[in-house]
Every structure is written in structure tokens, then in C-alpha cells.
Chains A and B, each alone.
Chain A
Amino acid sequence: MDFSFTEEQSMLRDTVASYLADHYDFEARRAALRSADGWRPAVWKAFAEELGILGASFAEDLGGLGGGPTETMVIMEEFGKALVVEPYLGTVVIAGGLLKAGAPAGAAELIGQIIAGHATFAFAQAEPQGRYSLSDLKTTARKDGAGYVLGGHKAVVIGAPWASHLIVTARTGGGQRDAGGVSVFVVDKAAKGIVTRDYPTVDGSRASEVFFENVSIPAEALIGAEGGGLPLVEQVVDEAVAAVCAEACGVLRRLHEGTLEYTKQRKQFGAPIASFQVLQHRMVDMFMQLEQAVSMTYMAHIKLSEPAAERAKAISAAKVQIGRACRFVGQNAIQLHGGMGMTDEMAIGHYFKRATMIEGQFGSVDHHLRRYETLSFDKAA
């Protein structure tokens, strides 16, 4: 039993933390969010060249540093503390994960571009009708000669305005909600027939509605087996959930610390409000939620390599705890900051907004509770 980090992992954490402390303070982030682009390509370049973290979780023969989920966890937690918006999740975790696991012909080259910071990805998975289902797809990929023609509408594709490529899930067969018939494609966002409607999101990111209007893609765009993509998507989304849990730990840590700090210095009735027992207990409850969230995040990362059912159960369990913690800690951080917590000028509200979006990202508490129940109790059926 060992929950400690290796020296390399601790160094990685320090490197990321110190870079973000120097380049990603609240005001710098705010200015970037308000800019036309909404992100900082220069930061991305630094991630690739200065920090080398875009390759942290790729094997050395692919040009990476040979790390794995733990490295991703360390990086995402630090990103959470600074509310990083740059598309690490979509690019390294999701696209990188699919390229590793699905190993299509051009994977090595694309991974090389990811590590170098030249390619950024967004995950075009969700659809307007599908809520959190990964198989409810109206988007189709019709066979056309050697390649395919894509048609459909993807909803709230986070990071799409910044992406050079999209990862798209589409039906090559089966009914709208069938497990079979799901395929995964990597598509150049500049391909003819891709129309996007870009907008900001409430937590400071950018997203798009993505419309595919008869988009021709080559056969090599397929990741994994045609029609057999769902297990691959489930695996990589589980990896993404684990990464988001890690990000949440960073967000929650800041929400909790910020609240302690504020209540110690804010005086009412002649005393710091942190001296009132009712608020102390609240902050203890927040702390317990945070610690339980960290524990579940570790557990989730450890279990990522388990067989699919075991992995899925662990991931859903973790996401339930993270969703609850995000709500409880987020809401109470605002409450204990009083009116100040409601202002745009204080960082705490921005952490709360990110925490709120994490609650629903890749499935709400209800969604994951149900998935856990099914995996736990319905096996015999």
C-alpha cells in the first residue's frame, strides 16, 4: 500500500505549480478569458516546450516522458488550482487516450503533434438529445468509397473554438441508442462541411455547437474498429472523468483554503467569523468532503487499469463523491464569503463556477449513481 508520489511526480507537480504561479494568476487568466481568443496559445506553447507536460503521459517511444494516469492526475490537480482553461483534457487525455488505445495508422504522428503543442483537440461526443449517454447518437458516418461522410450536430463541444482537430463519435450502424454501431473518428476541423457556432461557457472556457454537413473523411480517420467503438469511448471517458476528478480536487482545495483565509480575517460582532462554532463546523464538513474527494480520486486513478466493469464502477463512485463535494464545498464557500463571494472580482466565485460545471461534466451525480447501481446490482441479470 503506497499513496506517495515518486520524486519525478513531485518534481512534475512543483514545475507545473511554479509555472502557473508565475504566469496564471487570477488577473492574467481574466484578461485571457476576455480576449477575442479566450485562451493563451503562448501558455500552451510553454506547456509543450518549457514544461514538457503535453508528453508526460505518453510512452517514451512516442516521444513522451513515459508517465501515465498519475502524471495526468498531478497535472490536472494543479490546473484545477489555477483554473486553467487550455484544452489539456480534450487534447492530451481524450484525444491522446484514444490515439493510444485505438492506435490508428496515423496515431504516432498525431501524438507527436500533440506533444509538440502543434495539434489541439476537442471531443465532439454529446448531442442535444442524448444527455450523458455515450451511445445515443444521431450523428452518422456513412460509408462512401474508401472513406466516410459525416452528418450531424454535436452539442457543447468544449474547447472546439481552439481545436485544430475534432474527435467525433458517430453511428456507422445500429439504432440511435444501440451499443453496437458506434465508431470514433479523428477529423481535421478545417474539413469542408464543418460549421461551428462558438460561444463562451459560464466557467470561462469556450465551446461550440458543431454541425457536420456532408463532411468527407478518409478511411484512416477511423480510430478502433468500425462499429465497435463504444468500449473504447467508455474507457477513454472514464480516464477523462478521473482527470476531471483530479482537477476538481485542485478547485476544491482552493475553495476550502480561500474560505478559511477569508473567515479568519473577516470580523463581525467583534471577532473573526471563523471563531463562530456554526461556521467552524461548516468548514470541517467542507474539509471532509474535500478529503473524501481526494481519496476517491486516488482510488479512481489506481483502478483505471482494472477490467472494464471494475474500472467503470470505481470511476462512477468517484464522480458521485466529486459531484457532491463540488456542490457542498462550492455553495458553502460562497455562503461563508457573504456578499464578497457573490462578486465577479473575487476569485472564489470563479472556482465555484468551475466546480458547478464539473458536477455535470461527463455525467451528473444521478447519472453516475445509476451507472454504479447497474454495475453493482444487475450483474446477475
Chain B
Amino acid sequence: MDLDFSPQDVAFRAEVRAFLAESYPAALREKQSNEETLTKEDYFSWHRILAAKGWAAPSWPKEWGGTGWTPTQKYIWSEELAKADAIPVLPFGVAMLAPVIYTFATEEQKQRFLPGIRDGLVWWCQGYSEPGAGSDLASLNTKAERIKGDDGKEYYLVNGQKTWTTLAQHADWGFFLVRTDPNVKPQAGISFLLIDMKSPGVSVRPIITLEGGHEVNDVFLDNVKVPVENRIFHENQGWTCAKALLLHERSGIAGVARSKRGLERLREMAQTEKADDAGPLLADPFFRRKVADLEIDLTALEYTELRTLAGESSGKGPGPESSILKIKGTEIQQRLTELTVEAAGHYGAPYLRDLPHNVGAIGPDAAHGVAGQYFNTRKTSIYGGSNEIQRNIIAKLVLGL
């Protein structure tokens, strides 16, 4: 048991801080801290700065560009990123697809796809959910049939619809779960395909979410020809890849560092906002109790995550326990947005989405868009396997019920 940072860790934190101070563009920091919509170029420009430094994919194997950081260093890294209001490196390529590739793909596929993910050259999206396959992902229906092309090569002909595809409007490539054998039990007939989004027959339709934003999309696949060499792992064994990927998706989902930063901002806001008695809201016994409660909950999550990380570094991959991180992490993110809306009081109501930040803002800056954040954050207990499904996983795989 040891919670102290070693001198090396302290030096590492200083190095990270100096790097972020010097290299993270102020314009991006401003956009991120104002929670403005980020463009593809915004995401990529920061990703490429990280890639140039060799820090775009810390968790990867060293031979592919991983940093070999200890769990403590990774923890420091994510903490400093959040403090700097750094825009995230999108998880779809680096955190979700890449582990599947370096675990299951052929050497040739690794060479072909990993550098583009690491260096922020290719935007990936995730084609998992379908209108009829959400929590019950294995029931997916998108069909892929083997055909011989006019060029004599082998292809999959893919037909179906994917949905909730995050930021597919920017995607160059997507990784898709497709059904290659309809005659076996659902999990046994699925393959994992990489599809060039520019392929004929791929179309993307925006889904506007309740706060008015465009993050997610429907993706339609209409007779899309996909070369067989774009399949990762064996035919009909894509579920193995999918399960591995879902575990990675869950462990990243805790968002401890981001929530800590969010709490800090909430405290700042509640210091300025007035309570009914005209004192600072943070001095209001009702409100401060809720903030304290949330901080304690977040501390519990933080130490649970640290234990998970420590376990990982001793050779265990992220296990089904990571469902705890997903459930608690998203509940905390949601609670944080609830309290922010409460703190904003009347100024939670204005809907100013289409106005650029600060151009004729209504009410205090800190209240800008808080209700939209609250509405949007409801998605977190739904996506990545709903929190009900996560509880099923813990019940079944951890508790053996």
C-alpha cells in the first residue's frame, strides 16, 4: 500500500505540465473550456501535436508507439490533461479499435492501420448499435455476404443500418460488427470489419439530440463492397473482438479526471452565484452538502479506478469489474451537471445554442449552456452498454449469480 508519488512521478508531472503549457494551443483551450462544438480540425490538430511528442497513445505496446508509462504516470497524465482543459483524443481509434488491432489483427493489418490511428491521420467511428440491437448487441442484423468481385478478389457485400454512430459525420473509416453467419447462435456468426466510409453505398444521416446538438448519426450500408482483407480476426469470431473492445470502452468511461475538473468549476461557480440569503451558494448548507457528497463519491471512484489500474499493471487486463467504473463514473458526471443546472438558477433556462459564446451571452458565463450539458449527459448511462446492462455483467461475471 503506497499512495505517495515518487520523485520520478513528481518530475513527470512537472514535465507534463510544462509540455501542456507550451504546446496546448490557447485557442483550443478556450473553445474547450467554453464547451463549444469542436471541428474535425480541432481534434486532429491537438492529436498531431501529441503524436509528434510521442504521447498520443500512452497505453499501446511500446513497439507501436506506447509510452510504457506506469499506472501512476497515466493517472497523472489524465489529471493534467483535464486541468488544462485539453480536448480529448477521441477514443474510437486510439482507445477502442487499436487494442483490437494489436491483439487480434495480422502483422500486415497492424502496419496498415495503427500508424494512422496513432498519428491522428484517420478518423474512426464505431458501427455497433443498430435500431433493433442496442443493449442486445449480439442480435445485430447487418448482413455481410462473401462475393467474388469482377476483379476476381473476394469481398463482403454489406447491407444494413447502424445507429448512434458518434461523430460519423467526420469519419474516414469505421469498424463494424456484421453478421456473416445467420444460422448459428447470434454471438457465433459475427465478424469484425473495417470499412472505408468513402465506399460507394455508405451514407450518414444526422441524429439531432434533445439539447440540439449533432454528435450521433445513422449510418446506412447499401451493397457496400468490403475487401476480405479488411476483416480483423477470423470470420464469425468478431464477437471476441467486440467483447474486448467493450471492456476498453468501459474503463475509459469513468472520466475521473474530467469530473474532478468539473467539480472544481462547479465550486468556482457556486462561490460567485448567490444563494437565496444573498451569501455565496457554496456557503448554503443544502448546496454545499450536495457538493461534498459528490466529492466523496468521486473520491471512492478514483480509488476504485486506481485499484483497477494497479491490477492491470500487474498483468490482468481490465476485467468485468470495469463495469463499476462505467456505472459510477457516469452517475457522477450526471450528478455534476444536475448541480450545475441548480447553481445556474434562472439562467439555466436560456437556449443560446446558435449564438457564439459570449456574443450577447445571457446571464453569467458559467451558466451558459448548462441545461444542454445536463440533457446531453443523460446519454452516458445509456451508451457503451446501459448501466442496467453493466449491472447484469457484474451480477453474472463478478458475482456469479
Contact = CB atoms under 8 A, between A and B. Distances in A.
B210 A131 contact: no
Contacts of A129: 274, 278
18 contacts: A128-B363, A133-B276, A156-B346, A207-B350, A268-B133, A268-B136, A270-B139, A276-B388, A342-B382, A343-B210, A345-B208, A349-B375, A356-B341, A360-B349, A366-B284, A366-B286, A366-B287, A369-B286
A338 B351 contact: no
Given A199-B351, A331-B334, 20 more contacts: A131-B346, A155-B346, A155-B363, A197-B360, A327-B338, A339-B216, A339-B379, A344-B209, A344-B212, A345-B207, A352-B210, A352-B375, A356-B371, A356-B375, A357-B371, A360-B345, A360-B348, A364-B342, A366-B284, A367-B276
8 residue pairs, one from A and one from B, having the closest CB atoms: A349-B210, A268-B136, A156-B346, A344-B208, A366-B286, A201-B349, A202-B371, A202-B351
Interface string A153-184: 00110100000000000000000010000000
Interface string A332-371: 0011001101111100011011001100100010110110
Given A207-B350, A343-B210, A353-B210, A131 B378 contact: no
Contact of A344 (B210, B286, B383): B210
B275 A131 contact: yes
Contacts of A278: 388, 391
B239 to A, nearest CB: 15
Interface in B316-375: 334, 338, 341-342, 345-352, 360, 362-364, 371-372, 374-375
Contacts of B191: none
Interface of B: 129, 132-136, 139, 163-164, 207-212, 216, 273-278, 281, 284, 286-287, 334, 338, 341-342, 345-352, 360, 362-364, 371-372, 374-375, 378-379, 381-383, 386-388, 391
Interface of A: 126, 128-133, 136, 155-156, 158, 177, 197, 199-203, 207, 209, 267-270, 273, 276, 278-279, 327, 331, 334-335, 338-339, 341-345, 349-350, 352-353, 356-357, 360, 364, 366-367, 369-370
A202 B349 contact: yes
Nearest to A363: B276
A334 B378 contact: yes
A366 B342 contact: yes
B278 A136 contact: yes
Which residue among A128, A341, A342, A366 has the maximum number of chain B CB atoms within 10 Å of its CB?
A: A342
Contacts of A209: 362
A351 to B, nearest CB: 10
A205 to B, nearest CB: 8
Given A156-B346, A201-B350, A202-B349, A370 B378 contact: no
Contacts of A207: 349-350
A202 B372 contact: yes
Contacts of B338: 327
B351 A335 contact: no
A228 B155 CA distance: 82
A338 B134 contact: yes
B135 A279 contact: no
A216 B388 CA distance: 60
Contacts of B342: 360, 364, 366
Contacts of B132: 267
A203 B349 CA distance: 8
A360 to B, nearest CB: 6
Contact of B386 (A177, A335, A344): A335
